[in-house]
Every structure is written in structure tokens, then in C-alpha cells.
Amino acid sequence: MSAILVLIVVGVFITLIVQSWPTIKTLGIGFLWGKVWDPVGNVYGAYPFLIGTLLTSFIALFISIPFSYAIAIYLGEYNPKGWLSDLLKNTVELIAAVPSVIYGFWALFVLVPIIRGIELKWHIAPYYGIGIFTSSLILAVMIIPYGASLGITLIRMTPSPLKEGAYALGATRFEVIQKVITPYTRSGLFAGILLSLGRALGETMAVTMVIGNTSALANSFKEMIFGPGNTMASVIANEFTEADHTQYLSALIELGLALFCVTVVINLIGKRIITRFTN
């Protein structure tokens, strides 16, 4: 089974390279650093979308981690049994099952006006409400269940003798979580973070609906965070059906190749860190 999965991944990688070869041959590595995306002028640069993808994904990850860990600790250690625990756990799992387009609609009609009001109140230009920060917030909500569900399972799997021994020595519940449960589950918890990050990197529809969909780079970091932007996935979703010539289509497929490579590199780095934690 693992050999078949490896063959599928290799086949996807080769297909992306073959289909994006016209722009690879024409633009080379400069495609990644190009700051202008102009299909009319046949100029293609992935840098704005690469930055948008990384910003939305990592901001969403940093927002989601405290909530994921809090849910995991509460349902895994403080309240592991009973109707309330089952209800909350099922609710968390249900959040992961909601289609992304529903999150997009919710963000568009509820979250965007709230963010716009905050921007107006605190004088944070450009007052659109849509943008990278808004898409990061909705992404954070979407990826919380992935880290939380895995964390709940791992915390519940912590051997009881370890916890009981710590309690017998006079440790408080907080100290048991800090000194016993966290070291025992840290590699698994980090794997949950990687799972959440992988989900955030590839999310398309919800992000497309609230990110603003602009290819222009902002002039300042604040405008980059709160202003409109784009991700590699959202550009592909928006423009793939409009690609009317080979170079344009090839550039979009190369964006997919870049997203594929970014995901693989981040996962390899994460697995390396997990191995160090385990050892």
C-alpha cells in the first residue's frame, strides 16, 4: 500500500513538471521571485502568491494552536468522560466536516463586517474587512479540529501509572500536564500541528471568498496583513478556466507545482523535528 502511495505522489509530481514545462523552460527559478502577475502581458511571477500562502497558513496556525491545545487538554484530561465531553468532542469533529464554502459564506457575511468595524475603530487601513488577516481567521477556525482531535486521543492514551505516580508525589494537575503529559505526547501534538498546517496550505474556497484576490504586493507589512492578497490555491481556482493560451495555463500549473513543493518541504522539516523530539 505504501509503495502505491509513493507511486501516486511521484506520478503527480512528474505530471505537474511536464504540464508546467513551458514556463519552467522560459522563466526558470525566476518564476518564484517574480513580483508581477500579468497574463495579458504574458508576465508571470509567483512571489505575491507564495507570500500570501505562507502568511495566511502560519498566521492561522499560530491563532489555532492555543485553542486546539486548550480543547485537547480539557477533553483529554479535565473532562474525559460523560455526556458533556462526548457532546463537545462530536462538535469539534463536526466543525472539520463542514464544507469550506459554508465557512466562506459565514466569513463573508459575519466575519468581514466585524473586521471592517475593528479596522475603522482602530484606524487600520485599508478598511476593506477582507484580506489576509480575515482569511487567516477563518482558516484558524477550520483547522482547530485537526490538532484538537489528535491531541485528545494522545492525552487520553497517556499511561495512567505515569500520572498516578506524579499525583502520589504531590504534583498538581497543572504540573502533571506540564511535566508528564506534555513530554509524553509532544511528538504527536507536533504531528497535529503539521496536519493543521497542511490543511491550511491547501485550502481554496473559503480563502478565495474573503482574501480579496489581488496580485499586487502591498507597500507595507501592515497593509500586507490587513489588505487584500492572494494565495497560490486561490489564484488557480480563480483563473484556471480563463487560461486561454499555453503559457498562461503552464504558469498556473507551475503554481500548483510550487504549492506541492512547499507542502512537501514543510512536512519533511516537521518530520525531522518530530524525530528529534522522539529521540
| 148 found inside a domain | yes
| 109 found inside a domain | yes
| Residue 36, helix vs strand vs coil | coil
Q: How confident is the model at residue 278 (pLDDT cuts 50, 70, 90)?
A: low
Averaged pLDDT for residues 227-256: 90
| Residue 214, helix vs strand vs coil | coil
Task: Work out how many domains the chain is built from and give that number.
Answer: 1
The proportion of the chain whose per-residue pLDDT surpasses 70, expressed as a percent, equals 97
Q: Provide the pLDDT for residue 1.
A: 62
* Residue that wins the pLDDT comparison between 241 and 109: 109
| 139 found inside a domain | yes
Cell numbers at residue 263, please? 507542502
Does the pLDDT of residue 274 top 80, yes or no? no
Element (H, E) at 54: helix 47-73
Q: Provide the pLDDT for residue 277.
A: 61
DSSP string computed for 66-92: HHHHHHHHIIIIIS-SSHHHHHHHHHH
pLDDT digits (tens, 9 = 90+) for 1-55: 677 888 888 899 999 999 999 999 988 888 989 888 988 888 899 999 999 999 9
Q: How confident is the model at residue 175 (pLDDT cuts 50, 70, 90)?
A: confident
Q: How confident is the model at residue 279 (pLDDT cuts 50, 70, 90)?
A: low
* Residue that wins the pLDDT comparison between 245 and 53: 53
| 38 found inside a domain | no
Give this prediction's pTM: 0.90
| 115 found inside a domain | yes
| 138 found inside a domain | yes
The four Cα atoms 241, 246, 247, 248 give a dihedral, to 10 degrees, of: -10
Residue 107 belongs to domain with CATH number: 1.10.3720.10
Tell me the Cα Rg of the chain: 22
Range of the domain at 227: 47-242
